[in-house]
Amino acid sequence: MTNMQGKTVLITGASRGIGAACVRVFAEAGANVALVARDHEAIAELTSELGNKAMAIPCDVSRYWEVQKAVDACMQAFGGLDVLINNAGILKPISHLSTVDPDDWAHVIDVNLKGVFNGMRAALPAMIENGGGTILTIGSGASEKPYEGWSAYCASKAGALMLTKSVDVEARAKGIRAISLSPGTVATQMQRDIKVSEMNPVSQLNWEDHIPADWPAKALLWMCGPGADPYLGGQVSLRDEAIQKMAGLV
């Protein structure tokens, strides 16, 4: 396990699923953890389990000023920011382009793409000033392959991957490590929503086909260490058995 003692990690979408798993995995590794999400009650409850090494920050990642305030609050409480995990994301609406509600479609972009940009933009100046940091983003195979009914999700994940590549080009020399993680299908509420939609082959998967949420969390912890340096500026796939082995999952 990568030792995160004395490090500070800010996790968006920390109220459930992969985000909540990240909170527990990084706290166990010794990190100070800032939990960012819209669900104040959920992150407050989770924070109460972890004591003074965790703080809950209600925030809508689609609004830049809220994200900036969250980063500022984290740095004031813990004295710095070493790792940003851009985890907050939504999938719905699951709908064809010809019938989807334009506002609903745009909301996915606001959360999944603008939300990632907002996190990067808020964290980068402080990280660069302090000599570096790690920015990890939850990506998807949908960043490279279209799926029926997921046009907003696919477009947003493709854009988020390009943001990771852009950060790497602009800031690797300034100490910034930027990597995307494509976790595959994970046993979270998102997969329940996909199942109900009965659209595209992913909805036909059985629940036991999905990996547990702590797998991507543990992979993200590994990605904070030098073993993941060959993947800087790119996307790591958790479907890759070699990656699973390096991350200590198998």
Query: Residue 111 gets which letter from DSSP?
Result: I
In this prediction, residue 92 has a pLDDT band, given cuts at 50, 70 and 90, of: confident
Answer yes or no: is pLDDT of 113 > 90.
yes
Would the pLDDT of 209 be above 80? no
> In a 3-state reduction of DSSP, which class is residue 43?
helix
Please give the Cα distance from 194 to 190 (Å, whole number). 6
- 207, pLDDT greater than 60: no
> CA quadruple 196, 199, 204, 206: dihedral positive or negative?
negative
- Cross-strand bridge partners of residue 134: 83, 177
- Residues designated as active site: 153
> Rounded CA gap, 156 and 176, in Å?
23
Q: How far, rounded to the nearest angstrom, does the alpha carbon of residue 229 sit from its chain's CA centroid?
A: 18
CB 46 within 8 A of CB 23: yes
Give the distance, in angstroms, between the CA of residue 191 and the centroid of all CA atoms in the same chain: 16
Instruction: Decide: residue 103, CB within 10 A, 0-12 exposed, 13-18 middle, 19+ buried.
Output: exposed
Please give the pLDDT value at position 210: 67
pLDDT digits (tens, 9 = 90+) for 142-155: 898 988 888 999 99
Nearest CA to 160 among 189, 217, 119, 221? 119
Question: What is the rounded average pLDDT of the residues 101-117?
Answer: 97
Q: Compute and round to an integer the Cα radius of gyration of the chain.
A: 17
Give the pLDDT mean for 98-125: 97
Q: In order of start, what are the domains of the chain with their CATH numbers? A: 8-246 (3.40.50.720)
Q: Which residues does 86 contact at the CB level (< 8 Å), separation at least 6?
A: 12, 115, 116, 119, 120, 135, 136, 137, 138, 160
Q: What is the pLDDT of residue 124?
A: 98
Distances (CA, A) of 121 to 61, 86, 150, 192, 202: 12, 12, 27, 32, 33
Q: Report residue 212 as tokens.
A: 């547990």
Residue 204 reports pLDDT greater than 90: no
Query: Which pLDDT belongs to residue 214?
Result: 87
Question: Per-residue pLDDT for 187 more than 60?
Answer: no
* Mean pLDDT, all residues of the chain: 92
Describe the crossing of helices 40-50 and 17-28 by its angle, rounded to 10 degrees: 20
What does the block give as tokens for 243?
């990656």
Residue 19 has pLDDT above 90, yes or no: yes
Average pLDDT over residues 180-193: 75
